[in-house]
Amino acid sequence: MPTLRELLNSSIQTLQNAGVPSPEVDARELVLHALGLNRTALLTRANEEISATDAAKVAALIEHRAARIPLQHLIGEVEWGGIRLKTDARALVPRPETEVLLTLARQNVERRTWNVEKHSDHDPRSTIHDPLTILDIGTGSGALALALKAALPDAQVWATDISAEALALARENAELNGLEVHFELGSLFADLRGPFDLIVSNPPYLPAADKLTADPEVRHDPEVALYSGSDGLDLARALVAQAGDFLAPRGTLLLELDPRNVRQMAQEMRGWHTEVWPDLTGRERFLNAQREH
């Protein structure tokens, strides 16, 4: 029977041979998940022998990962934005860069609230709803909507998605975290009336041609959550065209887009004041917009 160290090393080698981008990290996560161990065990129990049954559990997970099934699908959940999320093929796996969008949304609310408290006696247009109203369009697993609700428990949060399967997963994640979000099935603004103080969205933004060169893991995500026309902006354009009718006075629209097309979207938004912000690697990705009138 192999020791824990031997099992981990052989798992790493299998993933390396399969071309998995991060074989050491993924092998470690899968070994620990299969055996129900914490990271300390890799040091304190490295020389312990692993039973044939447990070794088979590890081998099965490693085989699936070598076939390029996403790590998050195999583990079944991910820590994201301060909450736990179930992850599977029903919705896009939440990406680390989208946590920046979450941070920008929270900062926007904090800055807006501070401005209201400072200027409300002088400018009645600065008022915001009580409670704060937030809408997440294309919620997928519910990541953004639920993380915002967790961070802003007094806010009223709505979320829409065109996929019934994705919304089912989002509702499961809401129950998992004990959070109340109003979910609506439908495209973009569905049957909502607004107005909303903050609208956030991580819509599909990849050009259709990217399907030809997508990493194997990406092919396990729903295509409807990834691709949006020849330049990746079909859905974003439709969203922007309607957003002004659903924003409260001085409300904010926050979008995550592709570094290749975020500037194009900003340039097309006539009648909006726009800012483009970078992700943690310095690539322009996020669009902050308010109506000029």
Per the annotation, binding residues for substrate are 202-205
CA distance 184 to 102: 21
58, 11 in Cβ contact below 8 A? yes
SS3 state of residue 87 = coil
184, 139 in Cβ contact below 8 A? no
Residue 49: DSSP 8-state: B
Binding-site members for S-adenosyl-L-methionine are: 138-142, 161, 202
Q: Are strands 196-201 and 247-256 parallel, antiparallel or unpaired?
A: parallel
Binding-site members are: 138-142, 161, 202-205
CA distance 153 to 146: 10
Backbone phi, then psi, for 13, in 5-degree steps?
-65, -40
CA distance 188 to 170: 16
Tell me the torsion sign for CA atoms 69, 284, 148, 238.
negative
